[in-house]
Amino acid sequence: MTAVNLPTALETCNMLEIDGLYTFDFKLEGCLHIECIDGRDKKHWRFTPEQVLAAVFDETLQSWTLTSDSGQHRLVCMSGISGSNHDEDEDDADA
C-alpha cells in the first residue's frame, strides 16, 4: 500500500471490506458513508472527515483502523473486478 492517508486510498479503490463484510456501496463526500447487506440486515457506517484522516494503516494486516463513536473498525481498500457485456472484438463472435 502506497497511500499516505485513507482519503487517498479511497480515491483509487472501488471495493471495501469493513469488519469482514464486503461492499461496493461507499462514498467519500465530506464524510465517509458505507453501506452493505449482511444477510437480511442493511448495515450503515458513517465516519467524519476527522475520523477518516485519523485512520491508521497497519502494514502487517494491510488494512486501516478507523475509530468512530461506535468503536474501532477495520477497513481494507480493494480494486474489484468489473465485467462488461460488450465484446472488444465483434469479429470473433464464433470463437
Sequential pLDDT tens for the chain (95 residues): 456 899 999 998 999 999 999 999 999 998 999 999 999 999 999 999 999 999 999 999 999 999 999 899 999 999 866 666 666 655 555 55
* pTM attached to this predicted model: 0.77
Say if residues 55 and 65 touch (Cβ distance below 8 Å): yes
44 forms beta bridges with 35
Q: Which domains does the chain have, with CATH numbers?
A: 6-78 (2.30.29.190)
